[in-house]
Structures are given as structure tokens and as C-alpha cells.
Structure 1
Amino acid sequence: MSRPSHSFAVTLPTRRSFLNKRWSHPIGFIETHPDRSHFISPLSASMALGMTMNGADGSTFDAMRRTLRFDGLPQEEINAAYRGLLDLLVDLDPRVTFQVANSVWHTDRLTPLRPFVEAVRESFDAQVEPIDFLDPGAPSVINRWVRQRTRDRIDEIVPDPLMNPDQVVMYLLNAIYFNGDWTDRFDRAETRDGDFHLADGSTAPVRYMHRTGGFRMGGTADYTVVDLPYGGKAFSMTVVVPRDPTGLIPLVREMDENRWNRLVEGLGAEHPDAGLVLPRFTLEWESALNRALDALGMEVAFDPREADFSRLFGDRGPFISQVKQKTFVRVDEEGTEAAAVTSVEMRAVSGPPTIRVDRPFFFAIREGLSGTILFMGAISEAPEDP
């Protein structure tokens, strides 16, 4: 599978402009790992964290609100914005499949407060389910939901088995699925091999699709922009190509909401004679988002001592232990298929962790000073009681 060094993304229209202020997060990943390809869903991360914010209070709520760029808005307006966005995006284009699903899985030992449950159900259409995290089958139940909502493009988001399941109190999940045919498809007969020019000066073979017309274009002295519509043209893919193979990092470093808006506004009308050569590609990506969110000012939400999620269960207890995202994208002659899942794992503040040796394990008997290993073994069968 070819892995182009450029990052392509499906652009989604929004009702509220502040819901698109998400540049610091993806740019940080691209700058940190410039030799890797990335495919990030700001919308999926925002939806999962937006649900979680309904359980936050005090300085934790303020930090999450600032990180998500909601600029001092009250919770009711924030939820209304998410509700409006869902109503806008789903069924916007009958020729494009776009689905958004949210779910909250909470320990059956605790009952979430009614205002939180009502908020995530009404504003996010969230499915709220109790589950026994101590049951070894719990991860497979949640991951089955992930597979169903992404049409098997993402297999799992919750680790199986869970580490210290007695500490897990909640998973908040968002899943997005997109499948759109180009308004004007590429001709497969025109697809052929070519070189992809990498930032280090080397080249790699890829399969290139070719077409004439059917897209808008624009750009500056530093980059070229093309905009390829899907279906009835409510959705499109905007591709920004630096003129220099080393220009991707400077481009994304300078990108912000204002520059992006100028870039989109600068797109001209469709040019019937312009040619386009675009690689076919498939990409799977995953990462924990903790460090990126911490750098954006959300560190208090990850602090077991300081986090305040008292609007979840009525006490400060839980904190965010991990925010994780997995994505998938496939671009070919017919169009684009893409999926994303973001999970927010909540754990309870508790005493020292309990390590359960309840599965096959390795062990050794050793002398500490010299490091001599006296015995070693592997227990693969159910151990016999002495």
C-alpha cells in the first residue's frame, strides 16, 4: 500500500464557524511526525469531548471549553451547536452516505446523573448503556458497536482485555462514516503508475488517477488548491499541494482558520480543460490524543487529583485517562470512503491498582544482586492448586 506524505481530508460544512477552529491539534501531529501520513477527524474528537464536557464542572469545564474553542459560551448553547451540526450534516446529500453515532458506556455499579444522560441523548443522539467492565466480554460488546457504526472499517477502539477494569467507569464514543462518489468519476482506464516525490528528494511508485475538468482550482505562488465535489456537491475534498516537495510542513505550520477561509474563498469556477493527476491511496491511522489536548490547555481533565467531573456521577471522582482516535480513508476512481472513531476513557480515582494475573503469564525466580535467573516458566494452562 502506498503511503503518500501529504495529508488529504474531507471537508465538512458547519453551521457555526467556531466548530471548525481545530487547527492546532492536527498540525501538531504533522509537525511532530513529518515523515508519516496522517488522517485526523477534528469533528469526531470534538463530538466525543463535547459529550464528555457535559459531565465536567468548575475549572475542568472551563479548560475543556477553551480547548474546544467555544469562547465562553454556556453549556446550553454549546449543546445546541452540536445538535444543529448533527441536523445539518446527516442526510444533507442523498447521493452521499454520512453517518454520525455517539454512545456512552458506563459501569453498572454507578448511575449517571439524569441531567448528563438527558443532555447527551438530546444533543448528541447518544446511546447510553450500563455495562460490567469486570466482565471479560465487555470490550467485545463496545467494539462490536464500533464495527457496526463504521461498516467494519475500524475493528476496535477499546483494548481487549482491559487493564485494571475495576477502575474504568465510562467510555464515551463517537463514530463517523462517510462514503461518497465523485460528482464526476475518474476513468479507471486512465489510471497508471507514476513517481511520488518525497520531501527527502527520493521518489516512490504510486498509482495515479487522471481526469480533465470537474473540479475548482486556485492557489498562490507557494501552493495549488483543487476542490473535488462528491455527489450533489454539498461535500468536497480540498487538496492543497505545495509547489516544493519540502513545503508541506511550512504550509501546515502557517495554516489557521483565516488562511483556510481565504484558501477556500479563492477557489475559482470549474475549468473544463484543466487536468488533474491524483494518487489512489488507502490510509489507516491511530493515536492517543492526550499530549495534544494537554498542550492545548486541557491538562486538568487528565489529573486524577484536580479533575472535576462531578456532573457525571455526583462526585469529583472520575478523570479522563485516555482520549484515542482511529481513522480510515480510501480514495479511488469512484470516490472516497472514510471512517473515524474517538474514545474518551474515564477512570475512577482509587487506591493502588489491582493487577489481576488471570490469563496465561510468564514468570521467573531470580537473585537480585547478581541478576542470576534460577528458574523461569510460562503458565499456559489453568494452574493447579497446590
Structure 2
Amino acid sequence: MEEDMRIFNTMSGLNGETSECTGFIYRSASDMLVTVADGKGNVNVSPISLWLALALAAQGAHGHTLEQLEEALGTNGLCADQYRALVDSINQQQPGAASVMTVRNSVWISDTLTPHTSFIDDVRHAFAAEVNSIDFSDPNAGKSISSWIGKHTEGLLQPTIECDGTELLSIISTVFADSRWKTPFELNDTEPAVFHGDHGDATVPFMHQWCEDVSYLCDETFGWERVDIPFDDGSELRIVLPDPGNLETLVKDPAALRRAFSTELAETVPQEDKQELTGMDRLKAKLAAHKNPASMPIYANTVTAKVALPRFEIDSAIDGRTIITILQSLGVTDAFDPTHADFSSICEGALAISDIVQNTHIEVNEHGVRAAAYTGIAVAGAAPQWGREITFTVDRPFMYALMTHDRLPLFVGAVRNL
């Protein structure tokens, strides 16, 4: 697991604390958690799916377009073998585990376009991408792409995709997880309880379990506590419970979001050394942590947690305007401008990204977590010890991250109301 994680961290030539690749994941996640929500204010996103789709598109970019994509994604100097190692790492099923995680990539090329052989070879080798020739003017073109997405998300996502014939190339990246709890929640232990959402109280089914030997983290500086509930393949669902009224502060701050989800137990201070911070002391500590996160400790222990977790299910859809605005704020501008975009490594002629969308679904129940995402890019011309016992009741707005066994955030979400 540590070796696979180093593969991701070294994509940018930096260590795990400063990896630019991981930086993009939490910057984009923060922007999406703030700007995208369903009618209840809940949101589920897959920054990994967005990163993969853009990294695949970057294989066809050149000049300033490539420089901007690499700077934002943190992929400067990354070789094909490292991309492939990441894809293979996520797709590798652990021996004896029922849990499954997969990423699948595909490129759909207009039958009127003659792509460079080098581009086809690169995306097949680096991303294990399936390459298909398609007539985008055919009324069934969108159905073919939708069917491919449905197949690789096990039917959790079946989008209606419409093609108008102006497309020259489409890039699709799917992410799917069927993660089974290491110790399932007993259905007979599920009972109704009150969730205190920011729109008011709601009575919903709460699952209950004593979770043995789990990590419990507490951040006095930024105001949250976290429990990591394991799946049977070594991956985890990390539940971050902010202090009352503090969720919006966390989701708007990429550095705080990254600190909340990516901090490992080995980086923390034992809870018995905890120092309470109030008033100006806490404000000063928070400012110091922004300048140097490692300067302010996160306290933790391995515990037996009495967890009460609500069942929930979220569908999220992010439109092109939202994603493109986020990427432009990260410095990716030329790729969307027909007069400046340079995708000459794909083919001769002018190409530009005309749209990016992402749809996701997640459901959390007694058996585990099932989640799926797809990101579509349209290109047109132009060793734990027994610890103390704690109670962890998730009865107010919270965040979560579905981490791979290599501790990459496959899905990130915020639950504000149930």
C-alpha cells in the first residue's frame, strides 16, 4: 500500500505532504462541494474521475495548453508508466475481499477525424483507455456512450447523452466502487433517530455498530473529529464530523479539507497530550496552521467507537459551466478557447474542449457503500492497538471521503440535510 501511494505522490516529484496532484484533488473538491448540491444541500463528487479525464486530454495537448493543464493537475514530468501504475493500483482487487474499485477510460473519435497514432498509443498504454470510432451525427451515438457508462458503473449511472454531430472527440472516465464493510452493520440494529440538518430536524434510519480498532482523529484548530470505518479490502470511509456550524468553513478551505481527510494516524499526536484551545489562542493556532499545517497537531488514538451513522443516498450532477469556471480559476484557460487551444498532439486541425460534465451516485447502507461517477469531456472543432471507547454519533451535517486502499479520495461529499 505504501509503495502504491508513493507512486501517486511522486507524480509531481514531491513528497506526500506537498504533492501537487493531491493538491488539485482537494482544491477542485472544495470548489465543487461549495457550488454543487441537490435540493437538500447534499453533494457527492469524484475529483479522481475529473483528474483522470483531464490528464487523458492532456496527452493530446501541446504548448501553453499542455503547460496549463500540467500545472493545474500537478503532472509535469509524469510518464506513461506512472499513470498506468495509478490506474492499475485502483483496479487491483485485494485477495479474499468482496470489495471492488475500478476506473475505466475511453476515447470516442469521430469517423471524420484522423488521429495521430502516437496519441492512440499513449492513451491506451498510460490509461488502459478503450478507443472507439464513432459517427457523432448518428442518432444512436449518444446511446452508445451512455451504454458504455452504464456497463462500467454497474448500472448505477445511466445518463441520457445527446450528440449533435459537432463533436469530434469525447473522453469518458468512470469510477465505480462496491465497498463492503469489514464488519457489516446489523440490519436489526438500525432504528430511527433525529438528524439535525441545517434546514431543520429529520427522523431517518440510523445504523449502529461497535467499530473495533479504528482511527479516531480530533483537530482542535479547525474544529472537527473523524472516524475511519474500514472495508474488507483495506480501504476506508472517512467520516469527518465538524463542530456545530463549522461544515461550510471547512468545505470552502482546500487546505483545511485536505488536512481533514488526508492526515494519517502516524502524523498525529496521542490524545492524552491534547491541549484545549479557546478564544484568541484558537484563532492564532488556526492562522499558524494555514501558514504551516504541520505546526499544529491533530490528536488521535486507535479506539473502539460506538458509531451511529445515518443511511444516505446522493445523486449529483455538475454541469460544464461550473467545472470550466473552476478549472479557469486554477489557470486552465487556453483549452476552452478555440483561438488559443492547442491539441495538435491529437490530430492536425483546430480542437478545443467545449464541455465537461460529471454525474455521481453514492448509497451508504448496512452492507457497505456503492458509488459511481463519470466525467465526460467533449472536444469540438475549434498495526492498530486496542484503545479507549468513544461514541461517534453522526447526527448533524458531516463530510465523508471514500478512500482507496492506497488512501486516495475516490469520492468526497458533504451531507447537510436528510
TM value normalised by structure 1: 0.80
Alignment-derived partner of residue 375 in structure 1: none
Matches within 5 A, 1:12-31: 15-17=7-9, 18=19, 19-21=21-23, 22-31=25-34
Is 1:42 paired with 2:47?
Answer: yes
Q: Which amino acid aligns with 1:292?
A: I
* Contact kept in structure 1, 2:65 and 2:335, CA below 8 Å: yes
Q: Which amino acid aligns with 1:20?
A: T
Q: Which of 23-32 and 96-105 deviates more?
A: 23-32
Alignment-derived partner of residue 305 in structure 1: 339
Counterpart Cα distance in 2 of 1:14 and 1:294: 29
* Contact kept in structure 2, 1:30 and 1:249, CA below 8 Å: no
Alignment-derived partner of residue 118 in structure 1: 121
* Contact kept in structure 2, 1:14 and 1:85, CA below 8 Å: no
Is 1:292 paired with 2:326?
Answer: yes
Q: Which of 211-220 and 235-244 deviates more?
A: 211-220
Q: Which amino acid aligns with 2:90?
A: L
Partner SS state of residue 60, structure 1: helix
Q: Which amino acid aligns with 2:193?
A: G
Aligned residues: 325
Matches within 5 A, 1:257-336: 257=258, 260-262=261-263, 265-266=267-268, 268=300, 270-272=302-304, 274-288=305-319, 289-315=323-349, 317-336=350-369
Alpha-carbon shift at residue 270 of structure 1 (Å) = 3.8
Q: Which amino acid aligns with 1:271?
A: V
Counterpart Cα distance in 2 of 1:67 and 1:345: 19
Alpha-carbon shift at residue 14 of structure 1 (Å) = 6.5
* Contact kept in structure 1, 2:168 and 2:381, CA below 8 Å: yes
Alignment-derived partner of residue 210 in structure 1: 208
* Contact kept in structure 2, 1:150 and 1:339, CA below 8 Å: yes
After superposition, what is the alpha-carbon deviation per residue over 1:74-101, rounded to whole angstroms, capped at 9, x for unaligned? 3xx2433211111222224241211111
Counterpart Cα distance in 1 of 2:84 and 2:172: 16
Is 1:240 paired with 2:240?
Answer: yes
Alpha-carbon shift at residue 28 of structure 1 (Å) = 1.2
Q: Which amino acid aligns with 1:325?
A: Q
Alignment-derived partner of residue 377 in structure 1: none
Counterpart Cα distance in 1 of 2:379 and 2:100: 31
* Contact kept in structure 1, 2:215 and 2:300, CA below 8 Å: yes
Alignment-derived partner of residue 142 in structure 2: 139
After superposition, what is the alpha-carbon deviation per residue over 1:259-302, rounded to whole angstroms, capped at 9, x for unaligned? 64436543745423x31111111111111221211221112111
Alpha-carbon shift at residue 25 of structure 1 (Å) = 1.1
Alignment-derived partner of residue 355 in structure 1: none
Q: Could you say if the C-alpha distance between residues 297 and 310 of structure 1 is closer, same or farther in structure 2, counting changes exceeding 3 Å?
A: same
Q: Could you say if the C-alpha distance between residues 258 and 196 of structure 1 is closer, same or farther in structure 2, counting changes exceeding 3 Å?
A: closer
Q: Could you say if the C-alpha distance between residues 338 and 261 of structure 1 is closer, same or farther in structure 2, counting changes exceeding 3 Å?
A: closer
Q: Which amino acid aligns with 1:297?
A: G
* Contact kept in structure 1, 2:143 and 2:161, CA below 8 Å: no
After superposition, what is the alpha-carbon deviation per residue over 1:196-223, rounded to whole angstroms, capped at 9, x for unaligned? 11235x2122211111123321112321
Alignment-derived partner of residue 67 in structure 2: 62
Counterpart Cα distance in 2 of 1:69 and 1:13: 15
* Contact kept in structure 2, 1:176 and 1:341, CA below 8 Å: yes
Indicate the RMSD between aligned Cα atoms, in angstroms. Answer: 2.0
Counterpart Cα distance in 2 of 1:227 and 1:13: 18
* Contact kept in structure 1, 2:180 and 2:368, CA below 8 Å: yes
Counterpart Cα distance in 2 of 1:14 and 1:151: 30
Alignment-derived partner of residue 127 in structure 1: 130
Partner SS state of residue 252, structure 2: helix
After superposition, what is the alpha-carbon deviation per residue over 1:149-172, rounded to whole angstroms, capped at 9, x for unaligned? 00110102x622x23x1x210001
Q: Which of 88-97 and 129-138 deviates more?
A: 88-97
Alpha-carbon shift at residue 176 of structure 1 (Å) = 1.2
* Contact kept in structure 2, 1:14 and 1:20, CA below 8 Å: no
After superposition, what is the alpha-carbon deviation per residue over 1:310-343, rounded to whole angstroms, capped at 9, x for unaligned? 111123x110001111111110011011111011
Partner SS state of residue 308, structure 1: coil
Structure 1: gaps of 5 or more residues: 1-11, 350-386
Rg bigger for which structure?
1
Q: Could you say if the C-alpha distance between residues 268 and 259 of structure 1 is closer, same or farther in structure 2, counting changes exceeding 3 Å?
A: closer
After superposition, what is the alpha-carbon deviation per residue over 1:217-257, rounded to whole angstroms, capped at 9, x for unaligned? 11123211000111132x1011100121x210112233424
TM value normalised by structure 2: 0.74
After superposition, what is the alpha-carbon deviation per residue over 1:20-71, rounded to whole angstroms, capped at 9, x for unaligned? 221111211223357621111111111111110011111100111111122x
Q: Which amino acid aligns with 1:319?
A: A
